[in-house]
Amino acid sequence: GQQVMQIPQYQHVQEGEDFTTYCNSSTTLSNIQWYKQRPGGHPVFLIQLVKSGEVKKQKRLTFQFGEAKKNSSLHITATQTTDVGTYFCALQGAGGTSYGKLTFGQGTILTVHP
Amino acid sequence: DAEITQSPRHKITETGRQVTLACHQTWNHNNMFWYRQDLGHGLRLIHYSYGVQDTNKGEVSDGYSVSRSNTEDLPLTLESAASSQTSVYFCASSEGTALPYEQYFGPGTRLTVT
């Protein structure tokens, strides 16, 4: 099945610094989703990217889908303590036995020091 | 408001016992999923269902079973609990009409097998 590598595994930043997490796949993706999980909480959907080269923004968060649809990134500008949590990318199967299923990256755990 | 609930939220059981974790959603979603989350492994798919009477194995299905007798519920059963099944379990649901679609996660069940 499809696999995705997400890096880094951990990121510690000072409040106000920027943060980026990356997801890479060896195969072309139909779409990619991003989720955030607060400590002790459950994953919550942030966004989905479908088109090659797509860029979407949510306030301080910028999501990109690579031109070849094999990689994606999430960038947070000027982190705040509310950004703490684990960020996951997830690949969604587009056909055959993988249709509709999500394959999650390992996640990046973000800690923000005030 | 529509929601997805899991019960119990915490469970301690002994090795060899049968355990059932409940998942109930009120969105009328066709698709339901069970994941386990362990440190260093992200979220791994256990079983999933695309509708009533439909069940499918995920990547870590050994020792687990599910049944789908109605749209709202997908209980997860551990046939004979093992210490390796100590984990946090998340249920999720999604619409099933056309890709891409996001998944909505329940609050999770923390299971400890002693």
Residues of A in contact with B101 (CB under 8 A): 100
- The pair of structure tokens assigned to B63 is 């020792």
Instruction: Indicate yes or no: CB of B50 within 8 angstroms of CB of A103.
Output: no
Q: Give the residue from chain A lying closest to B99, CA to CA.
A: A100
Query: How far off is chain B from A42, nearest CA to CA, in Å?
Result: 5
Instruction: Indicate yes or no: CB of A106 within 8 angstroms of CB of B42.
Output: yes
Alpha-carbon dihedral sign for residues A74, B32, A92, A6: positive
Average pLDDT per run of 10 along chain A, which is 114 residues long? 87 97 90 95 96 97 95 98 96 66 91 95
Name the residue among A41, A92, A107 with its Cβ closest to that of B99.
A92
**pLDDT of amino acid B97:** 55
Is B107 touching A (CB cutoff 8 A)?
yes
Q: Note whether B34 and B47 are within 8 A (CB).
A: yes
Tell me: the pLDDT tens digits for B23-46?
999 999 999 999 999 987 789 999
Q: How far apart are CA A51 and CA A66, in angstroms?
A: 9
Over 90: is that where the pLDDT of B75 sits?
yes
- The pair of structure tokens assigned to B46 is 């256990």
- Pairing between β-strand A85-92 and β-strand B104-105 as defined by DSSP bridges: unpaired
| Mean pLDDT across chain A | 92
Identity of residue B30? N
Instruction: Indicate yes or no: CB of B100 within 8 angstroms of CB of A103.
Output: no
Nearest to B25 by CA among B1, B46, B47, B55: B1
Q: How far apart are CA B74 and CA B47, in angstroms?
A: 10
**pLDDT of amino acid A1:** 64
Q: How far apart are CA A58 and CA B53, in angstroms?
A: 39
Looking at A15-99, which runs of residues are DSSP E strands? 19-25, 32-37, 44-49, 55-58, 61-65, 71-76, 85-92
Residues of B in contact with A50 (CB under 8 A): 100
